[in-house]
Structure 1
Amino acid sequence: MAELDLGAVRAFVAVVEDRSFSEAAVQLGISQQAISKRIARLESGLGLTLLFRSRNGAALTEDGRAFLPHARALVGLADQAVEALRGRRRALRIDVLDTRLSASVDLVRAFHQATEKADVEIITSNGFRSARGALARGSVDAAFARANGPLDEHLRHVPAYLEPVHLLAGRDHPLAGLREVEVERLAGSTMWMPGNVPGSEWADYYRLLGEAFDIPIDDSGPDFGWEYFVEEIASGGRISLVGLACRLPWNPRVVQIPVVRPAPVYPCSLLFHRQNQHPMLARLVDSVRTGFRPYDPGRQWLPEPDRAAFSQR
């Protein structure tokens, strides 16, 4: 069975309606040669002659007259389908790891406020591992994640932000009174991070950070959630590392201290599929790209695999 080329069918209908290859070419915005090639391809695929060509224009053959109503129906149905999608207002679906990890959410909120209240929908996931599939399927339009693995050839990413890492400690801890703590002072101190899921991009980041500065990472669980995590830190028995923008449950017995010289920063990218045609996606990408501040090797620390992507806008 012949596979119908919708462009060729549309060319056929245009020629019939205008009775002229040249007029049909003007109507469709293509060359007369392109019209002729489309009609020839259609006739070749069907194994039939649909049009008589003469100096006075084009006329239908008997087969052409039989095909015409179906051709018009095909073109009309295609136009209705496109119009239905154009009229369908769908929110821009943006994947973030956790709404408490608010650096990504803050960027989305700023975009929403600066773009005439753009209709956005926040979706939470388990990071880069699920974002790759969700972007390929089109179930999300964009995702914030640290891209620490191979990307599908159709996926694109731009650097979004570098989030400073802070020490989280109970007020009774010896480091709790410092305004900032040099990363070398953390050498040998075990960081309790029960949320560091094996295979996740953040577990990989903190593994590399630990190896670089001799900081053991304890990812033993179970992970009972943020409230339990903060309560354990408050008890004074454990310390941990968190991002600057992480919205932790408030606890008066817990302090958050910047880690410096150099300051470890967590890299996050905005990922999207190059074939995604959502009308707001390009504006989100531009917004994120414009606000990004590149990696400063004299003041900050990044794992070696992340440095090239985050060194330039």
Structure 2
Amino acid sequence: MDLDLAAVRAFVAVADDRYFGDAAAGLGISQQAVSKRVAKLEADLGTALLRRTPNGAEPTEDGASFLVQARALIALADQAVDLVRSRHRALRVGVLGTRIASAETVRAFHETVPDVGVEMLRSEGLADALTALARGTIDAFFGRALGDLGGIEARPVYLEPVHVLVGRGHPFAALDGVPIADLAGRSLWVPGAVRPETEWADFYRVLAAEFGVRVDTTGPNFGVDDLVERTAASPELITGVGEKIRVPWHRGVVQIPVVEPSPCYPWSLLWHPRNRHPVLPELVAFTREGFRPYRPGRDWIPEPDRPAFTA
């Protein structure tokens, strides 16, 4: 006997909602259609699955036993449909922002596969991304792979040097590079690192401890445009940014690399090993091609990141 999946779905809906009318509304069909589907299922199985009570319908003993398997059957069917559909939708990639290095990597990848749909989705950080990857709401994520990833795969992608922004009146403005020793005892303004639980806040916390830099996270983070305006207006402010960030042009601001060594933010690509989107392997291969390993003495990255980024 072949079970009618629509009838099984109607039975589960009534068992959950207790009222045929509510189940019908949730399924988007008429109450009469729900009744017919449940009746057909009971006839096929040769037993009553629901009993009517003053408080609505409730499963019979046979119905309660069948309900467990019915839920599993529907879940498996939905999973199969989602798997097929996912192969024909856009690749969904989580990024921390659209002006940073990871967004540029996604754009560069899309140029190699112009006929493939790629969608960038804003992520709140690693913790948010791990949940989204496990649920399949995103296919990949660019971020710092830190701590227990819960079975999520990670591949090192890019070491992004830290730069500073200063106003034209700042003593650093005439330099080609700012030795990191010259930042010791000074404040580096990074308003985006105000949330202590994030992986980028951890990066700047370790940087501060290693080189004696004071990381200033005060003030609201109103975005890159506001950050640039505030930096331009101050003769003392030193703002930390990534090399690849698309900083809006401002005549009063200079962007300078930090050197000797160059502190770098370690970007990785993360994905779930069970994800079967057909374009995901191409993204993984693309990021592998541009990888440059950590260079001790010339670069600096936090100790926990070094094994993954060492050749």
Code of the residue aligned with 2:176 in structure 1: it is R
Q: Is the 8 A contact 2:87 2:278 kept in 1?
A: no
State yes or no: 1:230 paired with 2:228: yes
Code of the residue aligned with 2:218 in structure 1: it is S
Structure 1 pair 171–152 and aligned structure 2 pair: CA distance change class (3 A): same
After TM superposition, give the deviation of residue 84 of structure 1 in Å. 8.8
TM-score by length of 1: 0.71
Which residue is 1:110 aligned to? 108
| CA distance in structure 1 between the partners assigned to 2:189 and 2:229 by the alignment | 13
Which residue is 1:131 aligned to? 129
1:40-51 aligned at under 5 Å gives the runs none
Structure 1 pair 242–274 and aligned structure 2 pair: CA distance change class (3 A): same
| CA distance in structure 1 between the partners assigned to 2:86 and 2:243 by the alignment | 41
Structure 1 pair 123–87 and aligned structure 2 pair: CA distance change class (3 A): closer
After TM superposition, give the deviation of residue 82 of structure 1 in Å. 6.0
TM-score by length of 2: 0.71
- Single out whichever of 300-309 and 103-112 deviates more from structure 2: 103-112
Which residue is 2:309 aligned to? 310
Identity %: 52
| CA distance in structure 2 between the partners assigned to 1:160 and 1:152 by the alignment | 20
After TM superposition, give the deviation of residue 188 of structure 1 in Å. 0.7
Which residue is 1:206 aligned to? 204
State yes or no: 1:179 paired with 2:176: yes
Q: Structure 1: which 5+ residue stretches go unaligned?
A: 5-73
| CA distance in structure 2 between the partners assigned to 1:149 and 1:218 by the alignment | 25
1:209-220 aligned at under 5 Å gives the runs 209-220=207-218
| CA distance in structure 1 between the partners assigned to 2:255 and 2:112 by the alignment | 31
Structure 1 pair 84–211 and aligned structure 2 pair: CA distance change class (3 A): closer
Q: Give the match's secondary structure for 1:276.
A: coil
1:1-313 aligned at under 5 Å gives the runs 85=84, 89-101=88-100, 103-153=101-151, 155-196=152-193, 197-236=195-234, 237-312=236-311
**Residues 239-260 of structure 1: CA deviation (Å, up to 9, x unaligned):** 1111011112221101000111
Structure 1 pair 230–84 and aligned structure 2 pair: CA distance change class (3 A): closer
| CA distance in structure 2 between the partners assigned to 1:149 and 1:87 by the alignment | 29
**Residues 216-238 of structure 1: CA deviation (Å, up to 9, x unaligned):** 00111222222221111111241
The alignment yields a C-alpha RMSD, in angstroms, of 2.1
| CA distance in structure 1 between the partners assigned to 2:86 and 2:202 by the alignment | 43
After TM superposition, give the deviation of residue 181 of structure 1 in Å. 1.1
Structure 1 pair 84–205 and aligned structure 2 pair: CA distance change class (3 A): closer
After TM superposition, give the deviation of residue 116 of structure 1 in Å. 4.5
| CA distance in structure 2 between the partners assigned to 1:144 and 1:88 by the alignment | 21
Structure 1 pair 95–86 and aligned structure 2 pair: CA distance change class (3 A): closer
| CA distance in structure 2 between the partners assigned to 1:87 and 1:227 by the alignment | 37
Q: Structure 2: which 5+ residue stretches go unaligned?
A: 4-72
Q: Is the 8 A contact 2:191 2:221 kept in 1?
A: yes
- Mark the structure with the bigger radius of gyration: 1
After TM superposition, give the deviation of residue 190 of structure 1 in Å. 0.4
Q: Name segments (4+ residues, structure 1) moved above 3 Å.
A: 81-84
| CA distance in structure 2 between the partners assigned to 1:274 and 1:83 by the alignment | 17
Which residue is 1:34 aligned to? none
**Residues 151-187 of structure 1: CA deviation (Å, up to 9, x unaligned):** 112x100001000111111110011110111111111
Q: Give the match's secondary structure for 2:192.
A: coil
Tell me the matched-pair count.
234
| CA distance in structure 1 between the partners assigned to 2:214 and 2:302 by the alignment | 16
